[in-house]
Amino acid sequence: MKNAIAKLMIATMVIDSDIDQRETEVIKENIEILGITDKEYDELLSEAKEINGLNDFLAWTHPSLDTLNEQDDPELSGLAVRSMMLVAYADGKIKDVESDFIKSTASILGIANPTWGIEKWIPGALERTVRSKFDNITNTDNE
């Protein structure tokens, strides 16, 4: 389950074919809270860099979506989507492909589409929400 969230965050970073350092930092900070090691992160990133086209991308992300759907936990699914939003906001610009991927993920997970805004407080609010949810997960789930 934790790998599923990490994988979707990485997918959000690579979907636009640009691995931005700020996105990398956001991912590393948040997956550390999940208990994902640097080695696991590097392996996931290496896999993501091997993606060649839409079909590969969908095949790589599909198991993560299945894992989250199997959990049948709207809070967890919401956390995954908010985590993806953090990554998309990290470089200060949401690209259409990132937004479309996040909205599609929300739909597949059966949760409401995220609301986008340009206010500067949104990234901070998202980060506080995600960190709070991660803290709850790490305190109750040591997978």
Positive or negative CA dihedral for 108, 38, 24, 90? positive
Q: Which domains does the chain have, with CATH numbers?
A: 2-140 (1.10.3680.10)
State the pTM of this model. 0.80
Distance, CA of 101 to CA of 80 (rounded, Å): 12
The 10s digit of each residue's pLDDT in 27-47 is 998 888 888 999 999 999 999
Distance, CA of 138 to CA of 142 (rounded, Å): 6
Identify residue 143 by its one-letter amino acid code: E
Distance, CA of 5 to CA of 118 (rounded, Å): 24
Side-chain-side CA neighbours of 107 within 13 Å: the count stands at 6
The 10s digit of each residue's pLDDT in 96-133 is 999 999 999 999 999 987 766 544 545 555 666 666 66
Q: What mean pLDDT comes out for the span 39-68?
A: 94
Residue 44 burial (10 A CB sphere; 0-12, 13-18, 19+) = buried
